[in-house]
Amino acid sequence: MMMTKGRTVEVVSRSPEETQKAGQGLAALLKERDLVVLSGPLGAGKTCFIKGMALGLGVAEDDVKSPSFTLVNEYHGDKWLYHFDLYRLKDESELYQIGWDEYLLMEGIVVVEWGERAAGYLPNKRIEIEIAIIDNHTRKIEITYIG
**Strand, coil or helix: 65:** coil
Q: What is the pTM of this model?
A: 0.91
Chain-centre distance of CA 96, in angstroms?
A: 20
Q: Give the model's pLDDT for residue 67.
A: 66
Per-residue pLDDT reduced to its tens digit, 55-84 = 999 998 777 877 666 789 999 999 999 999
Cβ(86)–Cβ(71) under 8 Å?
yes
Which is more confident, 137 or 3?
137
Fold for 8-146, please state it.
Rossmann fold (3.40.50)
Per-residue pLDDT reduced to its tens digit, 107-117 = 999 999 999 88
Q: What are the sequence ranges of the domains in the chain?
A: 8-146
| Distance in angstroms (rounded) separating the CA atoms of residues 120 and 39 | 15
Cβ(52)–Cβ(24) under 8 Å?
yes
| Distance in angstroms (rounded) separating the CA atoms of residues 95 and 78 | 26
The residues facing 51 across adjacent strands are: none
